[in-house]
Every structure is written in C-alpha cells, then in structure tokens.
Amino acid sequence: MLPSTAVAFLERLLDTPGPSGFESAPARAWRDEAARFAAVRGDVHGNSMATVEGGGGPTIMLAGHIDEIGVIVQHVDDDGYVYIAPIGGWDVQVLVGQRIRFLGADGDVFGVVGKKPIHLLRADDREKASKITDLWVDIGSTSAKETSARLSVGDAGVIDSRTMRFPNNRIVSRSIDDRIGAFIVLEALRRYADQPGAARVVATATTQEEIGDRGGGAGVGAAAIGANMAIVVDVSFATDHPGIEKKELGNHPIGSGPVLTRGSIISPVAFRLLRETADALSIPYTLQAAGRDTGTDADAIHIAREGIATALVSVPNRYMHSPNEVVSLDDVDHTATLIAETCRRVTPAVDFTQR
C-alpha cells in the first residue's frame, strides 16, 4: 500500500497544471520531492532527472512524462472573449461547458467555455459535434483591452478540475495521463534507494510527450543519460467499462496490476526481467501486444544513441484525455514495486543484445 505521504504528494502533483511545453510547475514539485533521496538535475528541454548510484552496474532510465493535454490562447476578440487551440489530443465535446484555468503571467486566470445554448440551435445542428472553433472562453471581461491585461496569446491552460479519491482505493484526476507515470518512476526510485543494487538508476520526468510525434523530451533525455536499459511508464486503456472491445485492446481491468507490453520495439531482455520479477514476487499483471509503435516515450527512447533496451509498463486508466481519468492506487503501488525490484536484478552480467 502506498504511504499516506506518497499519496499526498501524488495529489499535489496531479493538481499542478502543466500542459506540454508548460510543465515547469509540476516539474519543480517533482524535483523538490526527488531531492529528498536522490541527486537531481534538469535539462534545457525541461526534463527532470533524479539519480541513485548503484554498485557500478548498467544505467537504467525510468521514464514517465509529466506533461498533460491542455489549451492555448489563440485569439482575443473585440468583446474580450478568448478563442483557444488544443495542446495535445482532445475530444472537443469534453471541453463544452468546462471551466478553464489559464496560466497567466501574473497568476491564474479562470474562464468558462461558452457555446450557443441548445435552445438557439437549429434542429439539424443539435446532433452535430462541436468544433473547437465553435467554442470560446469567457473570463468575465468586457473588452479586448481588459482581457489582454490578464492574458496573452500563447498562454496555456487546463481544465479546472481537482483530484478526488474514489472508493476501492481509486483516484480521479484530469492529469493521470501521464503524471501518474512520473510519480511511479519516482516512487520506484525511492524504494530502490532504500536498498540499491548494482545498477545506476535515473528516474526521469519527461516533457512534451502529448505533442511528441518527434519524440518529445524523452529522446533528448535518453541520449544524455547514457542508459543501457529503459523502463517507460505510461497509462493504457482500462477495458472494464461499457463500450470496450477486448478483441482489439486485450483485457486490462482496473485493479489487475501493471500492463506489460510485448512487441516489435520492446526489448525481449527487458521484458523478460520484468515478467520474471513479477512472477517471482506474485505481482499481478496483464500482457499487451504492440505490433508496431506504442504511442509512448518508448518509441523515442529505444532508438536513442546506439539503441537502448526498452520496456513499457502501463497502468490501466479509464476515460483517458478527459477531466476525470480513473486509476487504482493498488495498480500504482504494484507497478512501483515491480520496477524497483526489477532494477535490483540488473547486474553487469545482463546481456541486452539478446534478440
């Protein structure tokens, strides 16, 4: 079970806004926590790294991206209404009627997403999906001058929602994808630091994954760290709610433990270390297949430098890219334990070239 102090830090981390390219606030919170037990540094891309030196063995990179999806101010009209563009992948219907928390230069600015009321929509328009250009944000201003005194084009924002605890040891947040991964790699490092093995382990809170078709911050971080092996932690689609097709996604219910990916870019050596550790410690897990890329930081990390033996571990997540993503803290705890124990099993004798 996660300690109460760890859960309190997780809630603080989840509630700190940090969309892609604007991750500095949650990154600072992550580094402050990491400095309690590890050597901490950052890089020009915004990645944060915490290192625990081992006994002269290989270097392992643990990577979880700390950014979340968000919005960015695109235009302010003459009446002071704000028009926005997406940061990352949105279902625009999710934005309708939400409150937005903008990260203004002089502090947070709050607004509400506006849309023409249903009473004023023509019958044939009521069934149509909203486009982001159909929406605006009202921050209470009466003019462009008033809005521009508080917000600038290029200011970022997130949906203004707060973390909640659910029954059955579950947690709800807008930023679980993938601040939960950034939390897990740090919690795994904390546990590893209590009894280090041979490996040098570097937990990394990476940036810009949600816009990372180019590899985001993960590729930069992987090249700098000089890792021999990497374990990427992200979220995967939970398959225990209505409308899910398990034939397409596999079976990964909340509470079933971490999801271990097997596939084309995954190192069989790194995968085997994780699976054997889970079996030895009776940690529950499910398997996921990835015949091509994974859509995670693993895609950039495994081809960094001369190649890094990369594994992907995911947490089942309901309602991804919404204001209310849901995960099990039991799954979080099991994932942190699995990663810490796997790192202890990595010695200089491990041959990462086996394929």
Neighbours of 110 (CB within 10 A): 14
| C-alpha to C-alpha distances, 66 to 5, 14, 46, 186, nearest whole angstrom | 20, 9, 10, 11
Question: Looking at 209, 210, 325, 341, which residue is catalytic?
Answer: 209
Q: Partners of 52 in the beta sheet? A: 201
Torsion 116-119-123-126 (CA) sign: positive
Strand 156-159 relative to strand 99-104, pairing: antiparallel
Contact call for residues 257 and 236 (beta carbons, < 8 A): no
Query: Is residue 341 flagged as an active site residue?
Result: no
Q: Cα–Cα distance between 301 and 318 in angstroms, integer?
A: 26
| Angle, in degrees to the nearest 10, between helices 4-15 and 24-34 | 160
Considering only CA atoms, which of 187, 208, 194, 200 is closest in space to residue 230? 200
The rounded distance, in Å, linking the Cα atoms of 109 and 149 is 11
Write out the catalytic residue numbers: 209
